[in-house]
Chains A and B, each alone.
Chain A
Amino acid sequence: MSVKTMLCRCEDVTVEDCREAIHAGYRCFEDLKRFCGVGTGPCQGKSCVREAMKLVAQDTGVDISEVDVMTFRPPVRPISFATLAAADAADAPSPAGSSLEPK
C-alpha cells in the first residue's frame, strides 16, 4: 500500500492524508473521520472504515481491537425522499426501535 493509495474513494482521502492526520494528533477513528472526512461519503464508510482503523492501530501502536469504531447511522442503504415521504406511518418502528446509536 503506497502513500498515494486511495483510502476513502468517496471523499478523496489517501492513506497519506490519514497518516498525516494521525501524526498531527487525531488518534481515534472518530477524530479522523471529523478531521479528514473519511467514511462520510455515499458509501458511509462501508469500504474504508476497516482500512482506516488498521492505520490508526499501526501508527498509534495499539491493537486494532482497541480502536474505536465509527458510529454507523441510519439509513442502512440510501433511500429517496419520495420513498420516505410515501412510507406508511403504520410501517414505521418507534423512534427507539429504529435507533442504531447507543443510548
Chain B
Amino acid sequence: MTEEAGAGPNLSLGSAGPRKDHYHVVVVGGGAIGLSIAYHLGKLGITDVLVLDKDSLVKGATGRNGGGVRAQWTSAENIELAKRSIAAFRHFAQETGHNLFLRQGGYLFLTRAEAQLQALRKAAAFQNEHGVRTKVIGLEEAARIVPGLNTDGCVGATFNPDDAVLFPWPIVWGYKQAAEKMGAEVVTFANAQAFEVKGDRVTHVRTNRGTIGCDWVVNAAGAWSRELAHLVGVELPVKPERHEILVSEPLKPFLNPMLVDLSTGYYINQDMRGELVGGLGTHSEESMDWGSSLEFAREFAKNTVRLLPRLGPVKVLRQWAGSYDKTPDAKPILGIAETGPRNLVQANGFSGHGMMISPMTGVLIAQLIAGQKTDLDLSRYALERFERGEIEADPMVIG
C-alpha cells in the first residue's frame, strides 16, 4: 500500500461505509482538525455529521508531528488559538476518556543571534499582553531547565512554562469516539473525489464509497486541502511542505521542556514514553514525498550532540516524514471563501501547528456552522487576507 493512496487494499479492513446518503455536515479529513470539528459540532447539538478520511486514521500530519503544543507565537492569530487550545488539552481526558500524556514542561527557544534575541524580547512582551507567561531568560537559567545543555554560541533564550508536549495520536481516538457517541459517523478509506454544486452551494460530495448529500462541507484535508478546494474553483495558497522527524529509544525522563534552537529550526522533546522526538527546519521543500533521508538523520544527530553532548550514545529507532500545509503567513485559513460555495468551510493551512490548535479550531468552525457568534473574529483568518495583501508572517515556525 502506498502512503498516498486514496483507498486501502481491502475496504473490508476500513470502517463501515456511510449509513445514510445525506448529512447536515460532511467533514473531509479525519485528522485532529476534522474530528475536533465533529466533536464540537456535537457539543452544540449538531450530530448529523459525517467525517470522511481517504485512508485509515492518524496517517496524515496528526500522526506525524512532534507533539509540541505552545503559545509562543508572534501573531495574535496563532497565540489566541494556541492559548485556548492548551487550556482545552488539559481537560481532554475528562472530556473524551483518552489520555494525551500532556506534560506542561514549557518550550525553551535558544537563539544564537543578538538581532533575533531582540525580536524574541518583543515577541515575549507581545505574548505577555495576550496572557502568555513567556520570559526572556539567561543561558545559566536555560541550562538549569535543560540539564546537560551546551549553550556555547547561544546568546539568550525564551521560556514559557505553560507550553507542553503530548502524544498526538489519542487526539484522534478521543475526538472520534466522543463524536461518534453523540451520533457522528467516521468513514475511512473514503476519498472525496468531486463536489456537485448547484447555484452557490455544494449539494453532494462524490466519493469512492458513494455520493453523499450535504448542507455543509468542511475542507479539513490538511496537505490535500488545496486540491480539494480547487475542485470548486477556490484557490488556496496552501503548499504541502515536506518535513522529517525521528524518534529515539526510550530513556528515563530527564528533558522536561521542548528544546528549540532557532538558528536551525531544530527541536527535541522527550515524550511520556521516554523517547526523544525531534526535527529540523532546514530541509523543507514543497513535496508530498514522505520518504526518509539519511542526510536529515545525520544533521539532526549533529545538532543533538552539539546541544546535548551526553546523548551521543542514545540510539535512533525510527524516522519518518510528513507534510505541513503551509500558508504564506503561517496562519490557518478558516471560514467561508468569498469566491466559493456559501456552504463550503475552509479549515486548513495550519502550517505545521494544526494539531496544537485543533481544539479551538473545532470550537470556531462548529460555532460558524451553528450560526453562533464565534469566540474569535474569523475575518482575521479569512482567505481574502492574501488578496488584500494583509499578510504579516509569523516567523516562529520550526521543524
Which A residues contact B (CB, under 8 angstroms)?
A: 25, 27-28, 30-31, 34-35, 40-42, 44, 56, 60, 62, 66-69, 71, 73-75, 78-85, 87, 89, 92-96, 98-103
Contacts and interface: CB of A to CB of B under 8 A. Distances in A.
A73 B319 contact: yes
18 contacts: A28-B14, A34-B172, A40-B318, A44-B317, A62-B10, A62-B13, A73-B318, A79-B315, A81-B312, A81-B313, A81-B314, A84-B297, A84-B298, A89-B295, A94-B293, A95-B295, A98-B294, A102-B2
A27 B14 contact: yes
A81 B1 contact: no
Contacts of A71: 3
Contacts of B372: none
B367 interface: no
Given A34-B169, A93-B294, A103 B2 contact: yes
Q: Is chain A's interface secondary structure helix, strand, loop, or mixed overall?
A: loop
A34 B290 contact: no
B255 interface: no
A75 B316 contact: yes
B298 A80 contact: no
B2 A85 contact: no
Interface residues of B, number: 49
Interface in B201-256: 248-250
B298 A89 contact: yes
Given A87-B298, A95-B295, A96-B291, A81 B316 contact: yes
B329 interface: no
A45 to B, nearest CB: 10
B291 A81 contact: no
A25 B261 CA distance: 41
B319 to A, nearest CB: 6
Given A34-B58, A74-B292, A98-B294, A42 B317 contact: yes
A82 B291 contact: no
Contacts, number: 143
A100 B13 CA distance: 24
B80 interface: no
A94 B304 CA distance: 22
Nearest to A33: B58
Nearest to B55: A30
Contact of B13 (A27, A34, A73, A101): A27
B302 A28 contact: no
Among A56, A60, A78, A89, the one with the most B-chain Cβ atoms within 10 Å of its Cβ is A78
B311 A99 contact: no
B1 A85 contact: no
B316 A78 contact: yes
A83 B302 CA distance: 10
B301 A85 contact: yes
Contact of A74 (B1, B13, B294): B294
10 nearest A-B residue pairs (beta carbon): A99-B291, A95-B293, A84-B301, A82-B312, A78-B315, A28-B13, A85-B301, A34-B58, A102-B2, A81-B301
Contact of B173 (A35, A83, A85, A93): A35
Contacts of A80: 312-316
B12 A78 contact: no
B305 interface: yes
A30 B56 contact: yes
Given A66-B13, A92-B295, A101-B292, A81 B173 contact: no
A44 B337 CA distance: 44
A66 B312 CA distance: 42
Interface string B1-16: 1111000111011110
